[in-house]
Structure 1
Amino acid sequence: MAEHTGFEEFYSGTRHRLVTYLYAMTGDRAEAQDAAQEAYVRAWQRWSTVSTYDNPEAWLRNVASRLCMNHWRKARNRVAAYLRHGTGPDVDAPSENTVALIAALKRLPVADRQVITMYHLMDLSVAEVAAQTGLPVNTVKTRLSRGRRALAGLLDTDASEEYTHA
């Protein structure tokens, strides 16, 4: 703990000035607070060295400023990528069957839903599902069978409800 001696006083004495400086630079209080927090974490990790500098606060301000600049660069790159590529093509709304299937899947226990989606939607074999989930092959087969039966019942129930409401 001796290596962090004085850090608490340093933090208390500089935090308001640093956040005010970063807020003035960025115009965004949350961004200023995030950058300040990250800069203090870095100062804490290197406190045995930073505390020996002639002006540890200048080092801290420099680190925090660079963090803000990196944030701006990333934002600028995101905007440039958006302008270059635009948004993706419009996607059609899901079909009624897809909506019904997803609703039925949500009603299954997570364990059954997991093996059904891996097997049927990701086209994994029973052995691959077993390997990825860490389950025995027979457990995967059981969950597939149980899940299919439950799905069939849920989808038949949903279909029969549609006909009674029509």
Structure 2
Amino acid sequence: MADASTQLQVFLGVRRELVSYASTITGDRAQAEDIVQEAWIRFTPAAAVEQPVAYLYRIVRNLALDLKRSRSREQAHQASAPAWLHPGHTADPADSCQHSMLLDRLSDTLQAMPEASRLALEMHRFGGCTLAQIAQRLGVSLSTAHRLLRDALARLAQEVDEPDADGASHEA
């Protein structure tokens, strides 16, 4: 028991310095406290150690560096994760409603377009088709395909910019 009480006295004598040391490595005082606690757990079963203070510092240093490495791996993993995995912010209900109403208006505008213009827009924006592919599929000239696409985009842009009946602008 004398050995265990000696270990405790040594630990308590340098505990404050160990927390400061771990805090400088991790940059977080709360995590430094956890590291020093873990160091005590690892230090207690140690048999006769010639330099217990140095041994405690070594344990704290290794634990702090392990935590730092773990954090950097986690941050790198989060940064490389697809955007849809990251938590999103919740939109304001009024903004969501306005956005939904704008999408409804755009959908109505798209449905009201001449079929050739709507097809040209859908093929270009959603299908990734080039103007040449659109012209070939619709059986029109390249300049006509360009005009159809331009007119469709202009109609949608006008709908987005058009103010509401009460004067509010519909911007997404």
Shorter-chain-normalised TM-score: which range?
0.3 to 0.5
Which of the two has higher C-alpha Rg?
A: 2
Normalising to structure 1: TM-score of the pair? 0.47
Normalising to structure 2: TM-score of the pair? 0.45
